[in-house]
Amino acid sequence: MSRTIALTGATGFIGGALARRLETVGWQIRALVRPESLSARYAGTATQWIEGDLEDLDSLRRLVKNVYAVVHCAGAVRGASQAQFDGVNVDGVARLVQAVREQHRMPRFLLISSLAAREPHLSPYAASKRHGEETLASAAGDMNWAVLRPSAVYGPGDKELLPLFRWIGRGIAPILGSLSARFSLLYVEDLAEAVVQWLNSETNERRAFELHDGHPDGYAWHDVVDTVARLYGRHVFR
C-alpha cells in the first residue's frame, strides 16, 4: 500500500497542521502549491511539492498519481460574490475528483468542509461548501470518499480567532452577534487526529461527519470570554 497522501491547502493554517501531523505518524506528503507560494521556508522539508492550482487539471493529475488518499483542504473563506466562492469550493472539488477518477486505482478522498455547510442559506461561503460536498457525492462514482465538517478551528498559526483572543487578553471583549448565541470550536490538532483516524480506518461510509470537541452544543460567547480572560489573568470589560 502506498504511504503517500495528496494534500491541498498545505501552505495554510489547517493544511500545514495536517501535513505536520501526517508526517509525524509516517505518511509521506505530496502537496499542491502555487508557484508564487513556494518560498524558501519550504525548502528542505520532506514534503514533495507539485506546482499548480485547482484550475490546472494537469497539475492535479500529477498530485494524485499513485497516492493512497487525497485530503482536500484548500478552499476560499473570503469572496466578493457567490461565483468567487463557487469557483474554488465547488469547481475545485469537481476537477480534483475528475483527476482521481482518471487513475487506474482510485485513491480514497477526504474533503475538509465546514460545519457551515449544514446551513447553506446562511452565507455564500456556507452555500459553496454545501455545494462542494454535493459535487463530490454526485461525481464520485465508486470512489471511497468522506467529508469532515469541522467547526471554527483554532490553534498555533490561526489568524481568524487569535485576534479576538488577543482583544480579550487586553481586557476588551467584542460582542459577536446575539448574547444568547452559541458556537462551536475545534482545536486544530483534534482535526488533524480525526484525519489520521479516517486514513487508518477501513470505513467506506460515504457521508459527512460533523466534528466537535466534546461539546456538541457549542459554547456561549461569555464562556469563551471568561476562559480566555482567566488564562490571561485579566479582568474583561464587556
- Domains of the chain in start order, with CATH, are 4-151+187-212 (3.40.50.720)
Instruction: Write out pLDDT tens, residues 101-116.
Output: 999 999 999 999 999 9
Q: Tell which wins on pLDDT, 34 or 8.
A: 8
pLDDT at residue 231, as a whole number: 87
Nearest alpha carbon to residue 216 among 112, 115, 74, 103: 115
Average pLDDT of 71-88? 96
Contact 8, 32 (CB under 8 A): yes
Instruction: Write out pLDDT tens, residues 121-177.
Output: 999 999 999 999 999 999 999 999 999 999 999 999 998 888 888 888 888 887 776
Confidence class for position 40, pLDDT limits 50, 70, 90: low
Model pTM score: 0.92
Residue matched to cell numbers 452565507: 123
Instruction: Write out pLDDT tens, residues 175-194.
Output: 776 767 788 999 999 999 99
Q: What is the percent of the chain where pLDDT is above 70?
A: 95
DSSP 8-class letter at 43? T
Average pLDDT of 43-63? 91
- Backbone φ and ψ for 116, nearest 5 degrees, come out as -60, -25
- Alpha-carbon distance of 133 to 148, in angstroms, equals 10
Q: What is the per-residue burial (b if ≥16 Cβ within 10 Å, else e) of 100-133?
A: beeeeebbbbbbbbbbbbeebeeebbbbbbbbbb
- Alpha-carbon distance of 223 to 220, in angstroms, equals 5
- Backbone φ and ψ for 129, nearest 5 degrees, come out as -65, -40
Q: Tell which wins on pLDDT, 9 or 1.
A: 9
Residue matched to cell numbers 502506498: 2
Q: Is 79 exposed, middle or buried (0-12, 13-18, 19+ CB in 10 A)?
A: middle
